Amino acid sequence: MPAENTENAAATPPAPQARTTPLYDVHRELGANLVDFAGYLMPLRYASETAEHRAVRTGAGLFDLSHMGEIFLDGPGAGAALDYALVGNLSPMAVGKARYTMICAPDGGVLDDLIVYRLADETFMVVANAANAAVVLEALAERAAGFDARVTDRSADYALIALQGPEAQGILARFTAAPLPDLKYYAITADEVGGVDALIARTGYTGEDGFELFVDAADAVRLWRELAAVEGVVPAGLSARDTLRLEAGMPLYGNELTAETTPYEAGLGRVVKLDKPGDFVGKATLAAQAQTPPGRRLVGLVARGRRAPRKGYEVVTSDGTPCGVVTSGAPSPTLGKPIAMAYVDCTVSGELAVDVRGRQEPVDVVDLPFYKRS
């Protein structure tokens, strides 16, 4: 699932007006380092972010994602409205399926990346990043105005708990009769989990198998405690979620994706469905870009040394000429090396380095993702 920038979250003190999720008291009990993130007090880490990261890679991690936005489109024209509002082709999607897509401005810039779930013939749920939820809600309401569809913000109704890792299915099976082996990746079903009603989605933002559980906000604490009581389940914060998605090569809004970046520049032109019937916002610009190679490309970088490239650091050629910028970077617990994603000029070849505080650190350019589960 999409998520916002966490690289600088540790430096952001809680604001007096920051909102809390239904699991706020649980996080405090667990001694979480809480930070102001997208207007919410969220757990950055509970103890060791490296241990939390490794738990997801080897067992199961439990995340609070209740800050995300849930926006519903209902009505006979809901599918057509989404086809016009987003770059994807959503109306043919079967009930119980999900799709990764984007909402773009008329100039093709990405306003947010989204997951859309079809819950019924005339009901879709759009999950937006917390920092962009208000922008997405406003844009959807405006773009759906000419269709027989109702747009409703139901973010406050839901808590979102993610159970991620290779042991996630076996653990979740203890709490639900839902046929989890039959629930394919990017699919969703409704059933009870731990005695509470839930939407069970096989989606995630870690590069591992896992599930995202949409439940009534009033049921969040009960469900969290039941899942967390299972031996081997480790609560995980935003820092671990960020390094997990970075290893998996997943873009982050505010880093790899921005209003100044188009899907084609981000290497995600596949989500733009130019051949779908009718018009959609940004189609003319994106159609033109599809015919013109972008001037920059998103690449993976692996540092040869121990100093991690960070967001905003300059990428340079062997002679020191600037040729790009790092969008995300961190030490990789799985690879044991610093890794990064960066935009670099398409014309660049040869040895590259990253300017880390005035020192050029050599890097190797690699294909994304850095990590892919077996």
**Residue 5 reports pLDDT greater than 60:** no
CATH fold for the domain made of 295-366: Elongation Factor Tu (Ef-tu); domain 3 (2.40.30)
- Per-residue pLDDT averaged across 156-179, rounded? 98
User: Is 102 within 8 Å of 263 (Cβ atoms)?
Assistant: yes
Q: Where are the beta strands (DSSP E) in 202-290?
A: 210-216, 233-235
Spatial distance between the Cα atoms of 352 and 348, rounded to a whole number of angstroms: 9
Residue 282 structure tokens: 């940004």
Give the per-residue pLDDT at 328: 98
Q: Which of the four pLDDT bands, split at 50, 70 and 90, describes residue 263?
A: very high
CA neighbours within 13 Å on the CB side: how many for 216? 9
CA angle, 58 as apex, 373 and 163 as ends, to 5°? 85
**Residue 51 reports pLDDT greater than 80:** yes
- In 3-state terms the chain splits into helix, strand, coil percentages (rounded to 5) of 25, 35, 40
**Residue 15 reports pLDDT greater than 80:** no
Give the per-residue pLDDT at 4: 46
Spatial distance between the Cα atoms of 60 and 134, rounded to a whole number of angstroms: 32
**Residue 16 reports pLDDT greater than 80:** no
User: Is 310 within 8 Å of 293 (Cβ atoms)?
Assistant: no
Q: Which of the four pLDDT bands, split at 50, 70 and 90, describes residue 6?
A: low
314-355 residue pLDDT tens? 999 999 999 999 999 999 999 999 999 999 999 998 999 999
User: Is 24 within 8 Å of 196 (Cβ atoms)?
Assistant: no
Give the per-residue pLDDT at 293: 85
Give the per-residue pLDDT at 17: 81
User: Is 6 within 8 Å of 207 (Cβ atoms)?
Assistant: no
**Residue 204 reports pLDDT greater than 50:** yes
* Helix intervals (H) in 86-182: 133-143, 168-172
Give the per-residue pLDDT at 262: 96
Residue written as token pair 């809680």: 14
Give the per-residue pLDDT at 13: 54
CA neighbours within 13 Å on the CB side: how many for 308? 19
User: Is 198 within 8 Å of 362 (Cβ atoms)?
Assistant: no
**Residue 260 reports pLDDT greater than 50:** yes
Give the per-residue pLDDT at 140: 98
Spatial distance between the Cα atoms of 100 and 112, rounded to a whole number of angstroms: 11
- Per-residue pLDDT averaged across 354-371, rounded? 96
- Per-residue pLDDT averaged across 305-316, rounded? 97
Give the per-residue pLDDT at 10: 47
272-290 residue pLDDT tens? 999 999 999 999 999 999 9
Closest Cα to residue 112, out of 217, 253, 17?
Answer: 253
Calculate the average pLDDT of the chain.
95
Give the per-residue pLDDT at 275: 97
**Residue 11 reports pLDDT greater than 80:** no
Spatial distance between the Cα atoms of 372 and 300, rounded to a whole number of angstroms: 14
- Per-residue pLDDT averaged across 300-316, rounded? 97
* 9-65+157-247 matches 295-366 in fold: no
- In CATH terms, the superfamily for domain 9-65+157-247 is Probable tRNA modification gtpase trme; domain 1 (3.30.1360.120)
Instruction: Name the strands in the sheet holding 150-153, side by side, starting at the edge strand that comes first in the sequence.
Output: 98-104, 110-120, 123-128, 69-74, 150-153
119-164 residue pLDDT tens? 999 999 999 999 999 999 999 999 999 999 999 999 999 999 999 9
**Residue 2 reports pLDDT greater than 80:** no
Spatial distance between the Cα atoms of 258 and 256, rounded to a whole number of angstroms: 7
Q: What are the sequence ranges of the domains in the chain? A: 9-65+157-247, 295-366
Percent of the chain with pLDDT over 90: 94
User: Is 112 within 8 Å of 103 (Cβ atoms)?
Assistant: yes
Give the per-residue pLDDT at 14: 54
Rounded to two decimals, the pTM is 0.95
